Amino acid sequence: MTQQILVTLDGTVHDANAPFLYADDLAAIRGDGVFETLLVRDGRTRRVAAHLDRMTRSLEMMALPGMDRDAWQQAIVVAEKEWSATAGNAEGWLRLVCSRGRESAPDAGPTSYVMVGPVGERVRHAREHGVSVITLDRGYSMDLAGRAPWQLIGAKTLSYATNMAAMRYAADQGHDDVIYVSSEGAVLEGPRSTVIAVRGKTLVTPPTEVGILPGTTQRAIFALAEDEGWTTRTEVLRRADLIAADSVWLVSSVTLAARVTALNDYVIPTSPNGDEFRDLVDRAISID
């Protein structure tokens, strides 16, 4: 069994291999809750404030109780210390989970915990060798978020079953990852990542208004890039824009930057600025 750390919001460290959730927890039976995944690198959890900000927004969108920020921060510190004590400097993913709690005890409040586990081989491979991507129709229009707030577009909910199904579909077709497109053909995001296209010294990403999760990694990269003289833009992208770019990246908190090596049948040539971009990402996620 992989080594994992489990900490509840009161700072208690639990046995991560012992049963923990009630069978009627709404996380388990409805996916009714929110989560965040962060990177622990060199013993320090990265971009904590940005993730807590996004979680606050997700909780609001789902009408879940407001967040006790201090308690989450303290639980993260306990979890990262436990991780360092057991795994040394090994990189870890750190997950924050908050569900609506038990179906049979609606007044008992949310179920909240922090977990840490080892960054796996799939992540290392994607960082080093990139990912071959299939574009898949998400099946709805760019303006759905405004018209149908109950779809919770832009919230990071525990309901990732369709995202996982998209990843399995991609694997069946011989690809490693997915870029969703809207019914109009606009580039959206990956099931677990934000899309960034690099053209010369310009970085471009789709605007969150097209109905995607605001990425904390993309934000960190753009902030540092602007300080260092890059041009950054948010604009609606089409598949053809990705093909025309020097390089295309899927960025996210744990994998950081995976270069898109192929888009459907088109092989994207290696770009000369790949190492420069990876270095920018590594430095960006070190700034809090």
Residues of this chain that interact with ligand PLP (CB under 6 A) are 37, 189, 191-194, 213, 215-218, 251-253
Distance between CA atoms of residues 235 and 232, nearest Å? 10
| Backbone CA torsion sign across 35, 37, 42, 45 | negative
Number of other CB atoms surrounding residue 261 within 10 Å: 17
Q: Of 149, 131, 232, nearest to 190 (Cα)? A: 131
Q: How far is the CB of 32 from ligand PLP (least distance, A)?
A: 17
Of 104 and 183, the one with the shorter C-beta distance to ligand PLP is: 183
Rg from Cα positions in the chain: 19
Q: How far is the CB of 164 from ligand PLP (least distance, A)?
A: 11
Give the pair of three-digit tokens for residue 184: 């109009």
Decide whether 39 or 79 has the Cβ nearer to ligand PLP.
39
Give 37 or 159: the residue with its C-beta nearer to ligand PLP.
37
Inter-residue contact 268 to 27 (CB < 8 Å): no
CB atoms within 10 A of CB 148: 12
Question: Are residues 181 and 239 in contact, defined by beta-carbon separation less than 8 angstroms?
Answer: yes
Which of residues 102 and 254 has its CB atom nearest to ligand PLP in the complex?
A: 254
Least Å distance, CB 262 to ligand PLP, is 20
Measured distance CA(142)–CA(186) in Å, rounded: 8
- Measured between alpha carbons, how far is 46 from 285 in angstroms, rounded to an integer? 6
Residue corresponding to tokens 């430095």: 283
Identify any residues that bridge with 205 across adjacent strands, giving them in sequence order: 234
**Among residues 101 and 212, whose Cβ is nearest to ligand PLP?**
212
* Residue with smaller CB distance to ligand PLP, 99 or 194: 194
* Residue whose CB is less far from ligand PLP, 181 or 213: 213
CB of 167 to ligand PLP, least distance (A): 11
Task: Give me the residue label for tokens 């088109």.
Answer: 266
Task: Quote the least distance from Cβ 219 to ligand PLP, whole Å.
Answer: 8
Q: How far is the CB of 269 from ligand PLP (least distance, A)?
A: 25
CB of 150 to ligand PLP, least distance (A): 18
